[in-house]
Amino acid sequence: MTKPPAKKPAPKGGGSFKGELFRQSRIWHGYLSAFAFIALIFFSITGLLLNHPEWFENAGEDVVKEQTLTLAPADLAKARAAADPGKAIAEIVRQKVKLVGAYKAGETIDEEALISFESVKGRSDITVDLVTGETEVAVERSDAVTVINELHRGKNSGKAWAVIIDATAIIVLILSIVGYVLFFSLRFRLKTSLILTGVSLLALFAVYWFLIP
């Protein structure tokens, strides 16, 4: 008499909500790690540089390049007639000189226009005599350490980089939550993980409360 085939044991947690939650957590933890680890490496390195500026204080200096030009009377008249004369002059100068940065501000005082551009790559300052058209341009390029520090801060980095910072924060947050979910699938490590979590929180609180003036 032939014996019926033995039933295969059901996979651990298979078919249950808990099992599916752990399975999906492992999958998404792997996917999110691909981006999160690169971002964490970048922000960790730049965080160290920000915290220790003395490491590279003599590594390099910003390079300033100055030049002069004269705007044509037609260009000056066109700029004066614009709704924002400062921005109009900025666009005219940008066509003639290679500037660094995005348009930040422009104002006219008496017969003089002062215009500035800023970004993580550096800054450009323009001074224009609105009577003679004589224009002075100073372009300051940031060194490599300054660039990556400014990227870490998100200062003058533009909307695209702001999206990167937001995306990094959200993905790392999700990755951390998913990692905690996975702790609960490792029962033999769960107690130790929770103890370490509690100790870490207490240590951070103690440093804030007792060591920060």
CB 131 within 8 A of CB 70: no
Which range marks the domain in which residue 189 is found? 17-56+157-193
Edge-to-edge order in the sheet of strand 122-129: 63-70, 134-141, 122-129, 112-119, 102-109
Residues 61-79: pLDDT tens digits? 667 889 999 999 998 888 8
Give the pLDDT of residue 14.
47
Instruction: Establish if 74 belongs to a structural domain.
Output: yes
Q: Within this chain, do residues 136 and 67 fall inside the same structural domain, yes or no?
A: yes
Instruction: Establish if 205 belongs to a structural domain.
Output: no
Q: What is the pTM of this model?
A: 0.62
d(CA 16, CA 188): 21
Q: Within this chain, do residues 52 and 69 fall inside the same structural domain, yes or no?
A: no
Q: Within this chain, do residues 122 and 183 fall inside the same structural domain, yes or no?
A: no
Residues 109-158: pLDDT tens digits? 888 889 999 988 899 999 999 888 899 999 998 888 888 888 888 888 88
Tally of domains in the chain: 2
Q: Within this chain, do residues 75 and 128 fall inside the same structural domain, yes or no?
A: yes
Residue 164 token pair: 């990167």
Q: Within this chain, do residues 97 and 27 fall inside the same structural domain, yes or no?
A: no
